[in-house]
Structure 1
């Protein structure tokens, strides 16, 4: 992945969110940023049935209350809109190219990541060394897109699709559909045509769709070749071209698109007027859901109506002022959710590990949705992956390579997953750590040494132990650990229901 999409996935820890939040909150946020993925909903128009049935925007301050109430309403509107605006800016960056190259590809074409980064890689934080990405963006407003997937055999893979609001509306893969060859259609809101025989329909609630696929790979030359062959057989065509010769059209490069600045920085820098204008435009093809009806009513009182243009200059001065002031205040509230979300039960801090199982589907939990967007856009469903992350044994103490640490698993208590698990080492900036073994993770695919009683100790330290089988090399300074759990068990023992807990990492004598 490139630096221009630092917040592309939940496996990506992003920098410099908002000025003004405390270091403690920021540290918690960075730990939670190990969600995943780096991840891809359209159906009905607002709570009613037609785009033109929404009330005209009010330009009166009294309609949306005054003072603190008005400011709160504007901040809530910002929080509600944050995922959709962020997805749009991400889409622009990742599709602003003539042909697939690097991390970008034109709309309707796949980017296929071919290898894992090494310790010199600095383009993206929290890289992974477990799955290779295959991702594409689709516009399903006019017609469905047909995606064909080859027989994946017994290999673990998942192809989650996010709508414009970051809801995962489908996640075909080994967990849900098995490894046999499959063909599916991504359909948009209002589409009710007929699909070819044997094609499964996945309906998005929005015109914007992001397919963020991941395929397990051991990283050996032989396995790279095997996965590359599978990646090349994952194809997409519009429904009108299905079963016919098809050549994707070259993409069009828009020089106005900023491909150098991280997406989150671009979004956070938007003025209130520009932010809400972009949001209103996006609502035309990415409508709210029925559950959002109360919020839609509040938006209308602020002059934001699905299907209608937004013009801040025509608003009551009080409303315009509240919307102008909303960005920074809302951004602080969003990032404070790293800590506040623990008290609310959306995030969990346990044994030094911070994680959440409230990802992928959010309902009306707009603050959690915005927070996950900010720290890890593209997060999977918890049934697909959970990413406990730890910067130290407590929120006040960090790990440091001057010490030796042990992560102990009792017999039969290794991470309970049906896919795979891995423990990844990062330095304090969330990059891989250079080491003589070129080892950045320990996982179940390694030949781990078992203690006489059946337990397993993972040795986390800078200097190599006498037996390096269970050694996860650490840097000399501070470091971060991330436990990736793909397809975690849903019944006991399970991290999802809390019946399995990530063991603490303790300092060795």
Structure 2
């Protein structure tokens, strides 16, 4: 079929295939890092402390200081797994499940299943068994390899041991271990393809895509789409090599890949709208229904991967960032002090926080107080008019205002308001905090 392929068709197919492949290949880096490089799949990788600027994880942009994480790539090719969730009634937690496409397909936790804990069977698409005795619910997944993230509220450094004990109460085991039966034969080693720096920003993505399709099942509703992909040697059992095509087709495929990558990056750089200096991000994360089935939905799936892999659904958490005052001026404490105002009750039934980062790196910056976030767990001052005013400044305010001081560096800032289990108003995009303003001199 490649003999009748025109450059125009090759470019269009390459662009659409790049968009389809992007979240799969992008997410594979994280799965490979934890599942292959760090000791294997089906292992609970607990992060035991709140991050500070000296921590290695401060290399991650907009690091979260509210929760401790457990990251788990899991492989159901051999058999299903059983996840045991402990009961802990006194704090927020969630377990987010994302498949190889980066669809969020299930949630456990405070918002969805409550605080009572339970046992859950995690089963891939090839398993057709019944729910065993002792299992509270089954969680089916469209892909044999998947990923889940546990988030547990941590109320500061002193609370870390309590959260660590909760983390230790989670357990992940093969179904055969849970049942006390003989396990099936091991799944074959797929000879994991090593990630590269160009794996999702060049035509290299197509070779990775063909390799990773072994972990995905063909879908009837995508048969026609993959028939088109096959025209440039993309699909199950196919081999992609750019040099297999005529020079004009090679150039067309390169152009299609470049166009797709640039389009994804442009959309990810500005996926929402700015109101009063706050940036409101629309619903770009969710399940298969939201992120699959049309070219537009598949593009949204690629954009959300570029914005940040394994992000949460809006119902679970909404991040509202700001770098600007209402008039568009940068929030830059080298030019003066700032006030961030919130009106209680802040619309989140889980919890909320404000965190400050350097705008250029989106990293935490050390300060004398060792304080990088404030929120509903802190003894904040509520002023006589009923408002909470947080001081964003380099030097300490008056002693009576210290509780509301969020120390910041003398550079442009990125301020992020996090709302866990937000109100319907927030989810709908209708909540905008008051703008950050310069403090009176």
Please, what TM-score do these two structures have when normalized by structure 1?
Answer: 0.76
Instruction: Give the distance between the partners of 2:161 and 2:182, measured in 1 at CA.
Output: 26
Matches of 1:312 and 1:408, distance apart in 2:
55
Distance in 2 of aligned mates of 1:458 and 1:244: 56
Look up the match of 2:147: 210
1:312 Cα offset (Å): 4.5
Verify the 8 A CA contact 1:114 1:224 in the aligned structure 2: yes
SS of the equivalent of 2:36 reads: coil
Residue 405 in structure 1 maps to residue 306 in structure 2: no
Return closer, same or farther for 1:395/1:334 CA change in 2, 3 Å cut-off: farther
Higher relative contact order (CA 8 A, sep 6+): 1
Structure 2 alignment gaps of length 5 or more: none
Aligned counterpart, 1:12? none
Alpha-carbon distance in 2 for matches of 1:384, 1:105:
30
The Cα shift of 1:396 comes to: 5.5
Q: Which residue of 2 aligns with 1:507?
A: 438
Q: Deviations over 1:260-312 (max 9, x none)?
A: xxx7x44335x51x421221222232135555455333313332223544454
Instruction: Give the match for residue 28 of structure 1.
Output: none
Question: Who is 1:82 aligned against?
Answer: 22
C-alpha separation between the residues in 2 aligned to 1:298 and 1:395?
A: 48
Deviation of residue 117 (structure 1)? 1.8
Task: Tell me if the contact between 1:111 and 1:136 (Cα under 8 Å) persists in the aligned partners.
Answer: yes
Decide whether the 8 Å contact of 2:276 with 2:327 is kept in 1: no
Give the aligned partner of residue 427 of structure 1. 358
2:257: which partner in 1? 327
Partner of 2:267, secondary structure, is helix
- Contact 1:433–1:473, Cα closer than 8 Å, also in 2: no
Q: Indicate the SS of the match to 2:60.
A: coil
| Residue in structure 1 matching 2:389, options 457, 460, 483 | 457
> Which residue in 2 is equivalent to 1:196?
132
TM-score by length of 2: 0.87
- C-alpha deviation, 1:368, in angstroms: 2.0
Show the counterpart of 1:384: 316
Q: CA separation in 2, counterparts of 1:152 and 1:246? A: 33
Residue among 176, 192, 196 paired with 2:112 = 176
Structure-1 separation of matches of 2:362 and 2:160: 24
Gaps of 5+ in 1: 1-57, 98-103, 342-346
Q: Which has the higher helix share?
A: 2
Which stretch of structure 1 is more off in the superposition, 160-169 or 446-455? 446-455
Is the aligned partner of 1:485 residue 2:432? no
| Structure 2 CA distance for aligned equivalents of residues 461 and 181 of structure 1 | 42
Indicate whether 1:358 and 2:301 are aligned: no
CA distance, structure 1, for counterparts of residue 199 and residue 68 of structure 2: 27
Task: State the shift of 1:119 in Å.
Answer: 2.4
Distance 2:380 2:270 in 1: 38
Indicate yes or no: 2:215 matched with 1:281. no
Query: Contact between 2:278 and 2:432, CA under 8 Å: does it hold in 1?
Result: no
For residues 193-212 of structure 1, the C-alpha deviation after alignment (integer angstroms, 9 at most, x for no partner) is 12322321111111120111
The residue matched to 1:120 in structure 2 has which SS?
Answer: coil
Matches within 5 A, 1:243-282: 243-244=179-180, 257=194, 265-268=197-200, 271-272=202-203, 274-282=204-212
Does the CA contact (< 8 Å) of 2:20 and 2:298 recur in 1? yes
Instruction: For 1:291-306, list aligned pairs within 5 A.
Output: 291-306=221-236
2:277 and 2:328 in contact (8 A); partners too: no
1:340–1:430: structure 2 CA closer, same or farther, 3 Å change rule?
closer
Between Structure 1 and Structure 2, how many residues are aligned?
421
1:88-123 CA distances to partner (integer Å, 9 max, x unpaired)? 2221122234xxxxxx44111111000012222343
CA distance in 1 between counterparts of 2:328 and 2:268 reads: 15
Structure 1 vs Structure 2 CA RMSD: 2.7
Q: Which residue of 1 aligns with 2:410?
A: 476
Change (3 A) 1:140 1:395: farther
Question: Is 1:138 paired with 2:70?
Answer: no
**Alignment partners' CA distance in 2, 1:224 and 1:245:** 37
1:430 alignment partner, SS class: coil
Contact kept, 8 Å, 2:50 with 2:157, in 1: the verdict is no
